[in-house]
């Protein structure tokens, strides 16, 4: 998706704080003769740009041409943009949002799958993630237009009237989507990028590439073995300093990982700091001070959605929900230079003890 203005896509993509440690960890080892020898299973690498951010693919099967992987990536980007971009005016979602029709519309399999997952997370978290948050996203300046001044109470209440999953009808089996209000708008920015990661990972599996890692804008999914026996991924310390500092390292195999946070992505208007993650229940930007939430799940799509939902819920309520639902989640908060770390039991099992 295009990177124009302070879009929620760009904010969310920039709001994930993951560093791939494949080369970094190797470089941190003490110098030795063996370190100068190229490992037999060193990962191949392909990088590029997509959805207004960067992507990276690493794999261990050297005979697979990077051109094949690039072709798969281009196909995924095209499909996801065509179905759920809010910047491409002819995408399915843009046409749905622009239309004032309340008649049912048949949508693609891609859009239906992402909507189904978004509805599920909405129901499980009691609205902390709401795909109908689009009007609030635009109101606070994280849609196509910039925020010139904080919205008035009347404008906020008007936008809130358009938000709520009960104002849309969706039948995932029939791929049918219908507005109950002509001005309702759907925003899938908090989940679509994770879905794109899953799509590319599945495509790589389909061409026999079992050992691979896919990362798009910080959202990750890994399968099989990495160069040193496993894929290891770092979670960044939540800080406004542009220098990236690793806080946690986790080992991934057959899992997706996503992070959501507000500490770098915000605008200041009339002296007020306005963060990019909107609480759909209150209509206001989240400002509870939580640095970031990282989630591991069976798919990157679910990890992406849950990371946003848990961030909205906050440090305590989000942590309690994650523990109750057996979610692997990491909650980080920075105060006076110190990081407060809260790991759910499921997440603690994935922390690499030997970084």
What does the pLDDT read at residue 51?
85
Strand (E) positions, the chain?
A: 18-20, 44-50, 53-59, 105-106, 168-171, 176-179, 212-216, 219-223, 231-236, 246-252, 255-261, 266-269, 272-275, 292-297, 328-335, 338-343
Mean pLDDT of all residues belonging to the chain: 83
What is the four-CA torsion angle of 122, 194, 82, 185, rounded to 10 degrees? 30
More confident site: 145 or 95? 95
Whether the CB-CB separation of 349 and 253 falls below 8 Å is answered with no
Q: Please state, in angstroms and rounded to a whole number, the distance separating the CA atoms of residues 211 and 225.
A: 5
* Range in 182-196, 234-248, 306-320 the model is least confident about: 234-248
CA–CA–CA angle 19, 22, 28 (5° rounding): 95
Q: DSSP character for 208?
A: T
Closest CA to 118 of 162, 203, 177: 177
pTM of the model: 0.85
Closest CA to 128 of 307, 300, 342: 307
- Give the mean pLDDT of 200-207: 94
Q: Please state, in angstroms and rounded to a whole number, the distance separating the CA atoms of residues 203 and 65.
A: 14
Whether the CB-CB separation of 288 and 314 falls below 8 Å is answered with yes
Does 147 score more than 70 pLDDT? no
CATH topology of domain 88-189: T-fold (1.10.3980)
What does the pLDDT read at residue 35?
23
Whether the CB-CB separation of 7 and 52 falls below 8 Å is answered with yes
246-252 and 231-236 beta bridge pairing: antiparallel
Does 292 score more than 50 pLDDT? yes
Does 24 score more than 50 pLDDT? no
What does the pLDDT read at residue 36?
23
- Give the mean pLDDT of 272-291: 84
Phi (first) and psi of residue 142, to 5 degrees: -110, 20
CATH topology of domain 16-81+195-348: T-fold (3.10.520)
Over residues 49-93, the pLDDT tens digits come to 888 889 999 998 767 889 999 999 999 999 999 999 988 899 999
Whether the CB-CB separation of 69 and 59 falls below 8 Å is answered with yes
Does 216 score more than 50 pLDDT? yes
Q: Please state, in angstroms and rounded to a whole number, the distance separating the CA atoms of residues 287 and 277.
A: 9
Q: How many CB atoms lie within 10 A of CB 268?
A: 9
What does the pLDDT read at residue 33?
23
Does 10 score more than 60 pLDDT? no
Same CATH topology for 16-81+195-348 and 88-189? no
Domain regions of the chain by residue span: 16-81+195-348, 88-189
Q: Please state, in angstroms and rounded to a whole number, the distance separating the CA atoms of residues 217 and 72.
A: 17
Classify 25 as helix, strand or coil: helix
If pLDDT is split at 50, 70 and 90, which confidence band does 250 have? very high
């Amino acid at each position: 998706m295009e990177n124009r203005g302070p879009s929620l896509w760009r904010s969310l993509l920039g709001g994930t704080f993951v560093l791939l440690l494949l080369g970094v960890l190797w470089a941190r080892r003490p110098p030795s003769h063996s370190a100068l020898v190229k490992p037999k299973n060193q990962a191949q690498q392909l990088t590029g740009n997509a959805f207004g951010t960067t992507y990276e693919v690493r794999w261990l099967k050297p005979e697979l041409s990077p051109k094949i992987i690039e072709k798969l990536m281009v196909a995924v980007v095209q499909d996801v943009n065509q179905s759920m971009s809010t910047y491409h005016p002819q995408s399915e979602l843009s046409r749905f949002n622009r239309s004032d029709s309340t008649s049912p519309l048949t949508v693609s399999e891609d859009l239906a799958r992402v909507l189904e997952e978004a509805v599920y997370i909405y129901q499980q978290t009691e609205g902390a993630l709401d795909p109908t948050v689009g009007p609030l996203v635009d109101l606070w300046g994280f849609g196509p237009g910039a925020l010139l001044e904080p919205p008035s109470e009347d404008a906020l209440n008007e936008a809130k009237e358009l938000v709520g999953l009960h104002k849309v009808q969706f039948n995932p089996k029939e791929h049918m989507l219908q507005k109950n209000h002509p001005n309702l708008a759907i925003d899938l920015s908090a989940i679509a990028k994770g879905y794109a990661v899953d799509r590319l990972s599945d495509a790589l599996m389909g061409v026999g590439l079992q050992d691979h890692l896919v990362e798009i804008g910080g959202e990750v999914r890994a399968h099989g073995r990495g160069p040193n026996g496993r894929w290891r991924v770092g979670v960044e310390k939540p800080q406004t300093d542009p220098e990236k500092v690793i806080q946690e390292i986790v080992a991934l195999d057959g899992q997706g990982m996503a992070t959501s946070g507000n500490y770098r992505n915000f605008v200041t208007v009339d002296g007020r700091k306005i963060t990019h993650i909107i609480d759909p229940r209150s209509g206001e930007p989240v400002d509870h001070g939580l640095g970031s939430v990282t989630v591991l799940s069976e798919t990157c799509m679910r990890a992406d959605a849950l990371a946003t939902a848990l961030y909205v819920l906050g440090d305590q309520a989000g942590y309690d929900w994650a523990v109750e639902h057996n979610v692997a989640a990491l909650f980080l908060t920075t105060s006076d230079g110190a990081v407060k770390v809260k790991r759910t039991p499921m997440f603690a099992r994935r922390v690499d003890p030997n970084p």
